[in-house]
Structure 1
Amino acid sequence: MYRLIKTSELARLRDAAAADEVDATEAVKYAALCEAACARAADAETRAEQLHHELMDAVAARTRAEIEAAGLRDAAEERLDAEDRVALRALLRTARRQARDNRVYLLWHRGELHSVHATPEDAEMAAEREGAPRSGWTAWPTQTPPVPACEVLWRVRSITVGGPRHDA
């Protein structure tokens, strides 16, 4: 049995088939694009995991370096403390040899020991050689509490060698 199709219906069917063919071609293109995008996303995820591992390795290395630096800093401080004690002993020995009445005069610069001297005048002259003003050296009144050492540019303090500390 045969079916008769009008020319207009045939043209409409042909147009629909052509449109379906174009849609199918576009669908194949979009499918290829989706596959490529999925591959790029997988590559990006792999790279992100690699970067995360590298970051964790860098953080661990930084932590190890900080721990090592702290250890080195502590060792350096201990060594400096030992060297400071040796230098202070040498200065005190020298000052004892030169001292009158078993007193020595410590010159302090901003709260840090600068040098040890036999007389207060020697200490003042040493400070002046380092840039302290030639005038303005005064004794601190005993009624008032002293200013913190770190706030005073130059200070001379006397101590009795082999005995307790006394203010000058």
Structure 2
Amino acid sequence: MITIARTRTLRALRDALTQAEEAAEAARATAEQHRQDAQRTTDSAIRAETALETLRAKHAALVADAARDAGELEALRAQQLLDTEDRAVLRLLLRTTRKTISEQQRVFVLLRRGAFHSVHGTREAAEKAAERDGAHPDGWFTQGSPGTDCPATDVLWRIQPTDIGTGSQ
């Protein structure tokens, strides 16, 4: 069967075809534009993710450095406190030593059979030290006392007073 189309209808169909082709071309251009936008967005997201990973790695390194520095700081503070305490103890010992030296002009040397045993600040301290090592409490000879002219090696325990010099001689 033969279809008869009028010129007006044919022209309307051709115009509609042209409009459809133009609309399709515009849709293709819009689709291409959207594809390019999507590609740029994907690339931007990848760059942002890479930058984020780099920043996280730097952050972890900085946290580790900060923890190490905090530990070192704590150790240095402890050492400073120890040094301060040491200096205080040394000053106290120095003061005590200077005071003892300035007050004490004599020491008592404890001899056992003429051989050096120990040095003490008082006669009583020397006697106690000898008694701890087995000396009889009543068997003392002090050099220079009457009846002590026997040789030092013949006497089991002997206390010998000795003058000490001060730095001002």
Please report the TM-score for the alignment, with normalisation by the length of structure 2. 0.52
Which of 70, 86, 91 is matched with 2:90 structurally? 86
Residues 129-168 of structure 1 aligned to structure 2 (within 5 Å): none
* Structure 1 unaligned blocks of 5 or more: 100-168
Residue by residue, what CA displacement relative to the aligned partner does 1:78-113 show, whole Å, maximum 9, x if unpaired? Answer: 1111001112233445566889xxxxxxxxxxxxxx
Pick from 29, 36, 51 the counterpart of residue 47 of structure 1.
51
Note the aligned Cα RMSD (angstroms). 2.4
- AA aligned to 1:28 is E
Equivalent residue in structure 2 for 1:61, among 47, 57, 65: 65
- Matched residue type, 2:21: A
CA 1:2–1:23 in structure 2 vs 1: closer, same or farther (change >3 Å)?
farther
**Pairing 1:8–2:12 present:** yes
* Match status 1:19 vs 2:39: no
How far apart are residue 20 of structure 1 and its match?
A: 1.2
Aligned AA for 1:51? L
* Inter-partner Cα distance in structure 2 for 1:35 and 1:88: 79
Q: Which amino acid aligns with 2:84?
A: L
SS state at 1:20 partner:
helix
Cα distance in 2 for residues equivalent to 1:24 and 1:2: 36
Q: Which residue of 2 is the match for residue 28 of structure 1?
A: 32
Alignment partner, residue 70 of structure 1: 74
Distance in 1 separating the partners of 2:71 and 2:2 = 93
In structure 2, how many angstroms separate the alpha carbons of the residues matched to 1:74 and 1:91? 26
Q: Alignment identity in percent?
A: 19
Unpaired segments of 5 or more residues in structure 2?
104-169
Provide the rounded CA distance (Å) in 1 between the counterparts of 2:36 and 2:92. 82
**Which of 1 and 2 has greater Rg?**
2
SS at match of 1:6: helix
Instruction: Give 1:83's aligned amino acid.
Output: R
- How many equivalent pairs are there? 99
CA distance in 2 between counterparts of 1:83 and 1:13 reads 102
